Structure 1
Amino acid sequence: GGTTQKQGVAPDIVLPTPYDYMEIGEATLPNSLAADHTDPLNYRKLNRVNDYVKRLTTRSDARIKDDQDFAYILEDIKTLKERLLDKSLSLNETTRLKEKDDEKEKREIRKKERKDRGKPEETVYDLTIKMIQKNLKLGEEVEDEEKPIRLEEEDDNEEEVEEDEEDAPKLDPHLRETMFILHDYIKLLDPKKQIAAKDSGDSNPVQ
């Protein structure tokens, strides 16, 4: 009976992100519609996640605490909070240029640190409809098929953009941590229980 209008989907496990502190999304727009609700139908809940959320959260928090990429994210969140509280903006050219140089230096330090980590452990493959149709293995390429479009921020310096893309991790921290959480969940799950269930045809639908 609920809707994701304005408030979005409430996660069971929250990962830190600067977006939580930005005024973006439908809820920040003027005259946005309030969330609507209807009377829910009767259904049987499987509740196959609730028993594991606490342990999954504990393990996730421990990984995030030791993850350098999330340390950068937490640092960015702290900087964002400070900027949101500071309602002033310097018009001094020297000050503004120094702020810009400081940001560039910070990006360069992070880029070097990521590069010094060595080769990433994970391997990322592109998966396309044609690959599925031709029953190809991961890593094989379809002849004359266009590569998936990689969205990237616009930059006046194309060489710098290519260099940043090359040094960036193949999996962003949130996607990587999501995979770890799923891996933990599968390991914690009772092997006698299925992750997915098929409706048995009784009067109580399964969800």
Structure 2
Amino acid sequence: MSPRGVATPDVRERLFAAAERVVERDGPGALTSRAVTTEAGCAKGLLHTHFVGLDAFVAELCLDRFARAAAQAQALSELAGQGTVARNLGTVVLALFDAAGPALSGLAMSRAASTLQIREALEGGAPGFTAIEEAITAYLAAEQELGRVAETVDPSIAALAVVGTAHHLLMTSRPGTPDPQLPMARLVAMLVEENGQRSPGRIPADA
């Protein structure tokens, strides 16, 4: 545990990672500021030193994870022509469902103040589902030009379907429910219909 007065390196990420472990292990109801700092092994008041309160902490955690997924989606353009389209899209889907993603989304939805802060941040331009959708659209269009996605596929509609389904599954998945990656993998395979390639039945873990 960091002693009082000693700076904790990368404190935001340390607290974020601790919160994910608490939610994934014990469920959203177990998330308290004390649970987070105990899990992180740092001073009890550290969370409130860096965040206005638990609602703000949850909102910033979700926004941080959305931004990470958006950055990964934007990197898709560099993969055009490489690997398989389904595998490349799978990396983005896996980022959305990584770690405690569904549980964190459920947690945010259960906290009205957190939900409001997230909505306001996204409306203000914070990277989220819209940025992911735009990146997937651009990627599919690039693959279509290379002949790896059928001309009958509408990149913008396919991207909307992927992101919309991912959003729905994130909001509704709970511990004990079926693995949301399975329907996402089937949807991706159905949408992209790679020419001359068979899409995997499940998004590979090492995608």
**TM value normalised by structure 2:** 0.27
- Larger radius of gyration, structure 1 or 2? 1
Structure ranking higher on relative contact order (CA contacts 8 Å, 6+ apart): 1
**TM value normalised by structure 1:** 0.27
If each structure's helix is expressed as a fraction of its own residues, which one has the higher value?
2
